A and B are shown apart, each in its own frame.
Chain A
Amino acid sequence: MLVRVTHWITVISFIALLVTGVEILISHPRFYWGEVGNSRTPPLFKIPIPSSRATVPTGYGFVLPDQNGWSRYLHFEAAWALVLTGLVYVISGLWTRHFRKNLFPAPADRTWSVFRSVIAKHLRLAPPERADFRSYNVLQRVTYLLVIFVLVPLAIWTGLAMSSGFNAAMPWAVTSLGGRQSARTLHFFVSIFLVLFLFVHVAMVVLTGFATRMREMITGLAAVSEERT
């Protein structure tokens, strides 16, 4: 139950973070490495989109409307929702052994050959087996663990490392990343990986039966046909 509630709060927070993150990005679609970077310094790379600021040289003859006010408000509010929900999820997951039971690869699966065979099955587009409907395979488990314990913490860290107030208290958070602009660039790439995860995750849900999976994640009731097997 807690897994489902935290899942859906996370979904709402993540979508809010994504939309507002794009809005904030549009105000300066250039990325740099190191401590500083601005329209007068060479970028590491640019995103070829128009900007919401006239001061950014984009090559487009028009400027998009500025949406940063509410975007920044909502970005940080959603970040707080995600962090607090994530804390509840991780603490309860340790308490109820959710991670150990459902996400840490089973001892028999902790070998490269199992890993390879799961990947090979996916590459052959083999249809999922019965067992795959009841439990996660090793590839799914490793992916979920990476998202929960690596990518989301990295997104929080690189996000905080852009905060002047936070950096005043903990300068190592930004210096260890190579500077504030490096933190911003890393934040962007971590977000790209999280969006990739979202696409694959939703694609998997659709492939294994969108209606059934949604019903399970919302009500917690396993589909009847699966229960009988």
Chain B
Amino acid sequence: MSKISRRKFVTAGLAATAGVSGLAVAANLAKRYGLVPPDSGGIYGPGETLTYAGQRLLARNSLAREFPRSMISKIPFANEIPPLNESFKRLQGGGFANWRLVIDGMVARPASLSLADLKSFSVRSQITEVVCEEGWSYVAEWIGTPLFEVLRACEMLPEARYVVYFSIDPDWWDSIDMADAQHPQTLLAWAMNDGDLPVAFGGPLRLRVPRQLGYKSVKFVNRLMVTDSLKGFVSALDPKSPNFGYSWYAGI
């Protein structure tokens, strides 16, 4: 072994050691500051973690773009919805007067709110874009109750880390972290443009998460569960999961 190659060998060894220990330190820091998404395992984990950590560092509190009224899409596109089940149809028959939003999990005061109860909170409206992972988009005005107000009223416990939200469709739910759950633009939307939220767009109640793709804005929401762990909930790569194998974080 010549002198040069030995020096090269030592340098490469030092660089590799520094690299590995650097990665270990970074992984620890990332975990402590909530920069690791729940689907960080598996072959796509590194890419997912980089995207999630990058956006949380860059844009934890950034606001989604809002648009002027003139840019509201004349004909918004309602994506396909699963067939509505019997309990939905019964509530629809009653004009959704009996629709309840149940809030449970890590809250000091679990609640069951009607749409009228929800509307008694402060109202926020925003003109934001719905972006589908397929590539299409539209702009609409969304009117509703900020999710953080409901969480505050239910006295969410400090150790809570995620909000899981369920559709009346039993196979449909999703979850977001606290950066999005407590974000001022994350709405429990009950109205759209000039009227009540149409059923095709998720009425009577839909979560709107404007900083993420459309599939995170679950329709027909009737339960919120606050939790500190998504164990048993997230199997994002499982094609039978509600995300059909889509990534948990959809900010990109």
**Interface, chain A (partner B; CB < 8 A):** 24-25, 27-28, 30, 35-41, 53-56, 66, 68-70, 72-74, 76-81, 160, 162-169, 171, 174, 180-181, 184
Contact = CB atoms under 8 A, between A and B. Distances in A.
Given A55-B80, A74-B44, A36 B137 contact: yes
A77 B139 contact: no
B247 A72 contact: yes
A53 B211 contact: no
B73 interface: yes
B239 interface: yes
A184 B135 contact: yes
B62 interface: yes
A38 B251 CA distance: 20
Contacts of B245: 69-70
Given A69-B239, A74-B44, A166-B58, A80 B137 contact: no
B246 A164 contact: no
Contact of B133 (A36, A72, A168): A72
B247 A55 contact: no
B79 A66 contact: no
A128 B212 CA distance: 52
Contact of B252 (A40, A76, A171): A76
Interface residues of B, number: 46
A39 to B, nearest CB: 6
A150 to B, nearest CB: 23
B133 A68 contact: yes
B58 to A, nearest CB: 5
Interface string B12-27: 0000000000000000
Contacts of B44: 70, 73-74, 77
Contacts of A66: 244
B51 interface: yes
A180 B131 contact: yes
Contacts of A36: 71, 73, 129, 137-139
Contacts of B132: 28, 38
Given A30-B135, A55-B80, 16 more contacts: A27-B133, A35-B137, A36-B73, A36-B138, A38-B77, A40-B76, A68-B134, A72-B246, A80-B51, A163-B252, A164-B131, A164-B213, A167-B64, A168-B65, A180-B129, A180-B131
15 contacts: A28-B132, A28-B136, A38-B132, A41-B75, A68-B134, A73-B48, A77-B43, A77-B44, A77-B47, A80-B47, A162-B131, A164-B211, A165-B59, A169-B59, A174-B65
A144 to B, nearest CB: 27
Contacts of A70: 44, 237, 245
Given A77-B44, A168-B65, A38 B138 contact: yes
Contacts of B251: 163-166
Nearest to B239: A69
